[in-house]
Amino acid sequence: MSRNILLHPTLPSSTQLVLRRAGYETLDDLSSTSAETLSKELGIDISDSRTIITASQRPTGPPLSQSLASLISRSQSFACSYAAVNTALGGGLPRGRILEISGPPGSFKEALALDYARIFVEANEEVIYVDTQNMTSLATMKKTFKNSPAAADYQDLVRYTRLHTLPDLMLFIHNLIPEIHAKTGLLVLNSISFPFLSHPDIQSFKRTALLEKIRQIFLQASASNNLTIITTSQMSTKLLNADGSPGNFETGAKAVMVPQLGSTYLPNGRSYRLVIVPDSRTTGQDKIHWGGFQC
């Protein structure tokens, strides 16, 4: 078992984030802490705190003075070029997880997805890049790799395709698992919500069934094939009553922006939801949710 307490197989990623944010830098930091104390300090279950303590006290492995940062660097978490995003993700996007990036038009959703594509290609891993709304052209892709060490051969590692209809998307999802090669590290589904918007008359139960199908395939691809998946999504307006319950134009007291597809298609426990909230053209905020719950 890994000496890295942040890689323990039973430790939820939400707990990993809490641990790092509490200021623990090395395994030695935990050597004199009891499970009960850690549970109260971090606000986590006692079972999780015992798992952490047990992992930190194992006699084999790297020195206790080894930094968590250096251990994380071997955990195959991928840091992007946006410091705020890395901070929100607790250092980087772990391999084999799903990241949904949503935000209003003009936010850097596509730029962030392309940045992760560049990172995987530079690690000599194959990327499947699917664009459903013509938001990413081949010229944009070329520009992304212009100053990259992989500029000369990125086309050999990027499988770029366009899908525009909901049937096309579902056929792609259905055939995804056989398309994952040993070298395939990342799938990007840009504007995954667009094909659903092109079928506004689809019945609610059918929409839910399709989203559940995507969730099942995502879960299998990420858990069994160790595929990292990134989706981008537009936002939609949701009306709320004064008590926070769903409202309508007659009863609604306020409106909030939410990702268009909801969380049905994201496997709980393996997914991050990153919401980009611009304040202006050059400033803004990002908020991260784990498995549908804010961390």
19 and 164 housed in the same domain:
no
Phi, psi of 185 (to 5 degrees): -110, -25
66 and 86 housed in the same domain:
no
24 and 66 housed in the same domain:
yes
Of the listed ranges 35-44, 87-96, 204-213, 226-235, the one predicted with least confidence: 35-44
Give the domain-ending residue among 72, 101, 127. 72
- Of 114 and 56, which is predicted with more confidence? 114
Which pLDDT score, from 0 to 100, does residue 28 have?
65
C-beta separation of 75 from 66 below 8 A: no
- E strands, 154-227, in order: 158-162, 184-190
Selection from 101, 92, 98 nearest residue 6 by Cα: 92
Question: 146: Cβ–Cβ under 8 A, 6 or more apart, which residues?
Answer: none
- Domains of the chain: total: 2
Which pLDDT score, from 0 to 100, does residue 260 have?
77
Give the domain-ending residue among 72, 103, 126. 72
Which pLDDT score, from 0 to 100, does residue 236 have?
73
| pLDDT at residue 155 tops 50 | yes
Cβ burial of 134 (10 Å; 0-12, 13-18, 19+) is exposed
CATH code, domain carrying 281: 3.40.50.300
- Which residue do the tokens 């366009």 mark? 162
Phi, psi of 158 (to 5 degrees): -110, 120
60 and 89 housed in the same domain:
no
Token duo for residue 156: 């050999």
pLDDT digit string (tens) for 63-121?
Answer: 444 444 433 333 478 999 988 888 888 889 999 999 999 988 778 899 999 999 999 99
| pLDDT at residue 210 tops 80 | yes
144 and 23 housed in the same domain:
no
93 and 27 housed in the same domain:
no
Q: Say if pTM beats, i.e. exceeds, 0.85.
A: no
Alpha helices in 123-193 (DSSP H): 138-144, 166-174, 176-179
Give the domain-ending residue among 48, 72, 96. 72
Sorting pLDDT into bands at 50, 70 and 90, what band is 1?
very low
112 and 221 housed in the same domain:
yes
39 and 129 housed in the same domain:
no
Phi, psi of 136 (to 5 degrees): -130, 110
238 and 182 housed in the same domain:
yes
pLDDT digit string (tens) for 156-167?
Answer: 999 999 998 999
Selection from 236, 294, 224 nearest residue 261 by Cα: 236
Averaged pLDDT for residues 279-294: 49
- Which residue do the tokens 């549908």 mark? 292
| pLDDT at residue 294 tops 80 | no
What is the β-pairing status of strands 284-290 and 271-278?
antiparallel
CA pair distance 98, 118, nearest whole angstrom: 17
Sorting pLDDT into bands at 50, 70 and 90, what band is 61?
very low
Token duo for residue 29: 């930091």
Degrees to nearest 5, angle at CA 199 with 197 and 205: 100
CA pair distance 7, 12, nearest whole angstrom: 9
Which pLDDT score, from 0 to 100, does residue 16 have?
57
Measured between its terminal Cα atoms, the distance across the chain in Å is 26
pLDDT digit string (tens) for 219-266?
Answer: 999 988 889 999 999 877 777 787 777 777 777 777 776 777 888 899
pLDDT digit string (tens) for 93-104?
Answer: 999 999 999 988
**Measured over all CA atoms, what is the biggest interatomic distance in the chain, rounded to whole angstroms?**
64
| pLDDT at residue 149 tops 80 | yes
118 and 169 housed in the same domain:
yes
Q: Which domain holds residue 21?
A: 5-72
Indicate the average pLDDT of the chain: 78
191 and 63 housed in the same domain:
no
| pLDDT at residue 191 tops 70 | yes
Distance of CA 174 to the CA centre of its chain: 21
Token duo for residue 13: 């990623």
250 and 171 housed in the same domain:
yes
